[in-house]
Chains A and B, each alone.
Chain A
Amino acid sequence: MSNGTQGSQGGIIPRAYKSGSIVYMEGDKSDNIYIMKSGRVILTTKKVEDRIWVEVKENVKPGEFFGVKSALGRYPRDETAQTFGDTVVLVLSLAEFERLILKNLNVVKKMLRVFSNQLRRIGKTVREVLGETDAVNPEVELFKIGEYYYKAGRHKQALHAYKKYIEFYPGNKHSGVAKQRISALQSGHSGDDDLMSGDEDEYSTSSYEESAGDMTDFSLDDEAGGSSFDDFADDSGSRPERSPLSSEMDEFLMDEDSGESSDDLSDFSFDEPDTGVKQKQDDINELFYEAMRLFSEESFSEAKDLYEKVLNFKSLKNEGERKTFEKAHFEVGRCYYKMKNYREALNSFSALLKKFPTSDHAKNTMLYIGIVFEENGNADKAAGYYKKASEMEPKDQINKEAVNRLARLQKNQGRR
């Protein structure tokens, strides 16, 4: 990167380059924006053609800007700018660029059109790579959005989508069903089954309602003695047969000990486990990851059920399984938190702290207890837990999050 001064006070600086100079390199970070004054600058960038990156060279003409997007978007340069022949460019700071373009709106409008066009083209390439044809039919898709919200029990949103559908596609394929849905939603009979049979029905019923139904009929059985960490430490009895996954894990653990990482991908490659990640009731890790997948799909109630199965494991084979077991305590709490069952969430979190006071997850648990209290309007308790979390070692992003939340709470309290 060139090391000229930032001309935020002294106005726009012209800078002369000899032929072959690099104005900036791909990967550089800088706030500078350039205007080509005289000479020649070539931008070398990469574009996708037929799913392959190819190098493209582009001439900057006198009077044109370059380096704009990366400076404005504050990301690394994604092109290299090199001079050919003696060249003079003007160097602008972001503030100067802003001042300049505010006085030249036509330039801005032209840039906006160019940017919008670039964005559309990249978007099109992305869709092509993903195998999504451009032949998406907005009519059908709009109806599907309505269906999504309808089945999710989010009636306001569903109503909007159906109404727009009727407005823009009054005589089309789904307008009959859309009208039925609208009148059902407006009369408050949205749950009627007969409405579901109106058209192809590829969506399941609302997962929101399912999880709501589940919230109350579960209570964490407080069998701390039966499942504490110590009890597992000396458990050498009836171990279930080793699954391919766990022996695979042992190999990796060994691998890690000797492991110098190399550039080679073989470091990360692996043989497919023969069963795939199907839910296997006897393998704690598989259960755990299945639960994690459900959580990430926002099926919190189902995830919770599986995490609880993890908690019911009576024999843990190694340190890895013990860690999984410990972590499941935390994750059960977060499932309840997501289900807004705050009482059970607190029960789970405090169970973790009781059983594993020195757990790696203790800090995060403190943070979450704080969040639960905050969401329930108990700012004082929330602040207490945030403070505890913020002071725990080792310091990382969780501490930062706790500090931020604490500061915001205190600010809000000060306002009252």
Chain B
Amino acid sequence: MIQLDNPIFDKFTVEFEPNELIFCEFEPGNEFYVIQTGRIKIVKIINNNEKTLDVLKPGDIFGEMAVLEEEPRSASAIAMEKSRLLKFHRDNFDALLQGNPQIAYRLLVIFSKRIYDAKRRLMILLLEEPQLKVMDVLNMLSEEDPHLDLGGPVILHVTIQEVANWAGMQINEVQKILTHFNQLGKIELFNDKIHVKNIRDFMRVVNSRRKSSFQ
């Protein structure tokens, strides 16, 4: 948690009303933000649907990619409630780190997680059979929750649409596969969650296929 209570930061303070866009996907940007109060939703329009990628809390940083790279925003940030943020320009990045090295540490953690997530997704996308992709999305979601007991049935809070996004597949195709798994008794489908009876079974199947493709 980053404490930037020092009055020296007052001039960097910006406020947002509920539902206000802080920045918009594809908009050029040179600033990054530290949340003082309020929650910020990071969203992306995927297949004409707004998908929430993350909900950020006070102390969290966002928009930092623009500081390290000169690329348009890769997602939109929306204030979920009245929020107070500190807004820093790229040019102030070094100075900010100097005074608040814990921000740098936090960014390292954020990048580590994102790199892992991206790699994990790549592992899914590079599977050949669509059934395996769908299975591996379920595997990935189970791995993400450290509290899940993978030895028993697991409940994954995910919609078919989300599974399709992760797998890079059409929703109809994913639905067909999930329906089939459901009929096999491997999973039970609900609107926004999936019960997997034996996730280790899925992991074993995917891993054995993945391994064989290395050899």
Chain A residues close to B by CB (< 8 Å)? 46, 48, 51-53, 55, 68-70, 72-75, 78, 98, 101-103, 105, 108-109, 111-113, 115-116, 118-120, 122-123, 125-126, 129-130, 138, 141-142, 144-146, 148, 152, 154, 156-157, 160-161, 164, 168, 203, 248-249, 252-253, 255-256, 261, 263, 265, 267-270, 272-273, 276-277, 285, 289, 292-293, 295-298, 303, 320, 327, 331, 334-335, 396-398
Interface membership of B155, Cβ < 8 A: yes
Chain B residues with a Cβ closer than 8 Å to the other chain, count:
77
Given known A-B contacts A78-B116, A119-B114, A396-B155, A334 and B172 have beta carbons under 8 A apart? no
CB neighbours of B115 from chain A (8 A): 69, 73, 115, 118-119, 122
A269 to B134, CA, bound (A): 12
CB neighbours of A161 from chain B (8 A): 21, 24, 27
CB neighbours of B98 from chain A (8 A): 105
- Asked whether, in the complex, the Cβ of B159 is within 8 Å of the Cβ of A101, the reply is no
A120's nearest neighbour on chain B, judged by CB, is: B69
Interface membership of B9, Cβ < 8 A: no
CB neighbours of A268 from chain B (8 A): 131, 135, 180-181, 184, 186, 205
Q: Return 16 A-B CB contacts under 8 Å, by A number.
A: A69-B115, A70-B116, A72-B108, A105-B104, A116-B111, A119-B111, A141-B25, A156-B19, A164-B24, A256-B184, A261-B201, A265-B132, A268-B184, A272-B176, A293-B171, A398-B155
Given known A-B contacts A122-B115, A129-B126, A292-B189, A297 and B171 have beta carbons under 8 A apart? yes
- Asked whether, in the complex, the Cβ of A129 is within 8 Å of the Cβ of B109, the reply is no
Distance from A94 Cβ to chain B, minimum over Cβ atoms (Å) = 9
Distance from B101 Cβ to chain A, minimum over Cβ atoms (Å) = 4
A69 to B180, CA, bound (A): 37
CB neighbours of B153 from chain A (8 A): 396
CB neighbours of B6 from chain A (8 A): none
- Asked whether, in the complex, the Cβ of B116 is within 8 Å of the Cβ of A73, the reply is yes
Interface membership of B82, Cβ < 8 A: no
Distance from B22 Cβ to chain A, minimum over Cβ atoms (Å) = 9
Distance from B97 Cβ to chain A, minimum over Cβ atoms (Å) = 6
A72 to B113, CA, bound (A): 8
Name the 10 nearest CB pairs between A and B, nearest first.
A296-B159, A73-B112, A115-B111, A160-B21, A296-B161, A72-B112, A69-B112, A142-B26, A102-B101, A116-B68
Distance from A175 Cβ to chain B, minimum over Cβ atoms (Å) = 15
- Asked whether, in the complex, the Cβ of B112 is within 8 Å of the Cβ of A115, the reply is yes
CB neighbours of B45 from chain A (8 A): 144-145, 148
Chain B residues close to A by CB (< 8 Å)? 19-21, 24-28, 45, 48-50, 65, 68-69, 71-72, 76, 78, 94, 97-98, 101-102, 104-105, 107-109, 111-116, 118-119, 121-122, 125-126, 129, 131-132, 135, 146, 153, 155, 159-162, 168, 171-172, 175-176, 179-181, 183-186, 189-192, 198, 201, 204-205, 208-210, 213-214
- Asked whether, in the complex, the Cβ of B20 is within 8 Å of the Cβ of A145, the reply is no
CB neighbours of B175 from chain A (8 A): 277, 289, 292-293
CB neighbours of B49 from chain A (8 A): 297-298
- Asked whether, in the complex, the Cβ of A102 is within 8 Å of the Cβ of B102, the reply is yes
CB neighbours of B171 from chain A (8 A): 293, 296-297
CB neighbours of B198 from chain A (8 A): 261
Tell me the number of A-to-B contacts counted with CB atoms below 8 Å. 213
* Among A122, A130, A248, A273, contact of B119 (Cβ-Cβ < 8 Å): A122
Distance from B144 Cβ to chain A, minimum over Cβ atoms (Å) = 9
- Asked whether, in the complex, the Cβ of A327 is within 8 Å of the Cβ of B155, the reply is no
Distance from A80 Cβ to chain B, minimum over Cβ atoms (Å) = 13
Distance from A159 Cβ to chain B, minimum over Cβ atoms (Å) = 8
- Asked whether, in the complex, the Cβ of A122 is within 8 Å of the Cβ of B122, the reply is yes
Distance from B135 Cβ to chain A, minimum over Cβ atoms (Å) = 7
- Asked whether, in the complex, the Cβ of A160 is within 8 Å of the Cβ of B24, the reply is yes
A142 to B28, CA, bound (A): 10
B182's nearest neighbour on chain A, judged by CB, is: A289
CB neighbours of A164 from chain B (8 A): 24, 27
Q: Which of B121, B146, B160, B191 has the most CB of A within 10 A?
A: B191
* Among A112, A269, A303, contact of B131 (Cβ-Cβ < 8 Å): A269
CB neighbours of B132 from chain A (8 A): 265
A289 to B131, CA, bound (A): 17
CB neighbours of B25 from chain A (8 A): 141-142, 145
* Among B72, B118, B181, contact of A122 (Cβ-Cβ < 8 Å): B118
- Asked whether, in the complex, the Cβ of A156 is within 8 Å of the Cβ of B20, the reply is yes
A257 to B50, CA, bound (A): 42
CB neighbours of B116 from chain A (8 A): 69-70, 73, 75, 78
A232 to B111, CA, bound (A): 55
A146 to B21, CA, bound (A): 11
